[in-house]
Amino acid sequence: MARSKVAQAEEVLQALTSILRREEEVKPSEVLRAAELLGKRYGLFGEQPAEPLKPPSIVVDISQREAGEG
């Protein structure tokens, strides 16, 4: 019975998402706070800004080819 009085994690996330999507009449500050809490939950905000992805480097080891062909 006590569990029914306490919101589960999924229920909290659903409520925050509902606020963020403005499915009900809410203040802009509540929308911003819901976005902040959801962002923190999903690790969207790090201590440092995210670094852009670097293109992959392709390295071909021709020494292995030459040794096998001879």
The whole-angstrom separation of Cα 46 and Cα 51 is 11
**Cα–Cα distance for residue pair 17/19, rounded to 1 Å:** 5
Q: What pLDDT is recorded for position 66? A: 58
Q: Given this model, what pLDDT does residue 10 score? A: 93
Residue 46: which pLDDT band, with cuts at 50, 70 and 90? confident
The long-range contacts involving 35-38, CB below 8 angstroms and separated by at least 24 positions, are 38/13
4-22 pLDDT, tens digit per residue, is 889 999 999 999 999 999 9
Residue 57 resides in a domain: no
Assigned domain for 4 exists? yes
Query: Is 29 part of a structural domain of the chain?
Result: yes
- pLDDT 10s digits, 21-44: 999 999 999 999 999 999 989 888
Which range of residues forms the domain containing residue 34?
1-46
Residue 54, amino acid: K
Report CA dihedral (43, 48, 50, 52) to the nearest 10 degrees.
-170
